[in-house]
A = this chain, B = another copy of it.
Amino acid sequence: MGTTNHISTKWLGNMAFESNNPSGLSLTIDAGPEDGGEGKGLRPKALMLSSLAGCSGLDVAALIRKMKLEVEEFTIETIGHLTDEHPKYYKGVTIEYHFHGKQLKEERLQRAVDLSIEKYCGVTEMFRGFAELEIKTFFHKR
C-alpha cells in the first residue's frame, strides 16, 4: 500500500478557496481581477511550477547537506509554456538550477541535480507525463 495525500479545498465565496497541506499550514487561492477574483490568493496553475521546483529543490538541498557542499545561493527557475487552446496545460517546461558560490564543486552539484531529476523527484516524473522537459544547470562563481 502506497501513501495517500488527502487535501481539502474549501470555497470562501467569489473566486477564493482555502486549501490545507500536510504541514498543517494552509494556502489561499484566488483569481486575479481580470478573471473576477480579488487577487488575494495564489494562482493555482503556477503552483504546479512551485511544486516542481520545491520537490526537486528539497532533493538537492538534502544532497548539498549530505555531500557537505558549500553553496552560497541556490535558485531554481521553472518556466512553463502553456498551450494556446483550452484546456491550457504546460506542454514544455524548462528547469534551471542556479548555484552561486566561491567553492562550487560542479561535478557533485550536477550529480545532485541528476539524482533528483532521474531518481528521486516524483513531481518531475509527473511532469514527464505531459511536458517536454529541458534541464539546465548554471554555476555562478564569485
User: Of B21, B62, B80, which one neighbours A35 at CB under 8 angstroms?
Assistant: B62
Smallest CB separation, A62 vs chain B (Å): 6
Q: A139 at interface (Cβ–Cβ under 8 A)?
A: no
Q: A53 at interface (Cβ–Cβ under 8 A)?
A: yes
User: Which chain B residues border A14 with CB–CB below 8 Å?
Assistant: 61
Given A80-B5, A123-B89: A48 in contact with B46 (beta carbons within 8 A): no
Does more than half of chain A's interface fall in helix, strand or loop, or is it mixed?
A: mixed
User: Which chain B residues border A82 with CB–CB below 8 Å?
Assistant: 2-5, 122
Smallest CB separation, A63 vs chain B (Å): 11
For the complex, what is the distance from the CA of A56 to the CA of B19, rounded to whole Å?
A: 13
For the complex, what is the distance from the CA of A35 to the CA of B66, rounded to whole Å?
A: 12
For the complex, what is the distance from the CA of A113 to the CA of B141, rounded to whole Å?
A: 51
User: Of B5, B11, B40, which one neighbours A45 at CB under 8 angstroms?
Assistant: B5
User: Of B61, B62, B123, B130, which one neighbours A48 at CB under 8 angstroms?
Assistant: B123
Given A87-B119, A119-B87, A122-B86: A9 in contact with B54 (beta carbons within 8 A): yes
User: Which chain B residues border A37 with CB–CB below 8 Å?
Assistant: 58
> Which residues 10-54 of A have a CB within 8 angstroms of B?
10-11, 14-15, 17, 19, 21-25, 27, 29-32, 35-37, 39-54
Binding site for B on A (CB under 8 A): 1-11, 14-15, 17, 19, 21-25, 27, 29-32, 35-37, 39-55, 57-58, 61-62, 65, 71, 73-84, 86-91, 119-131
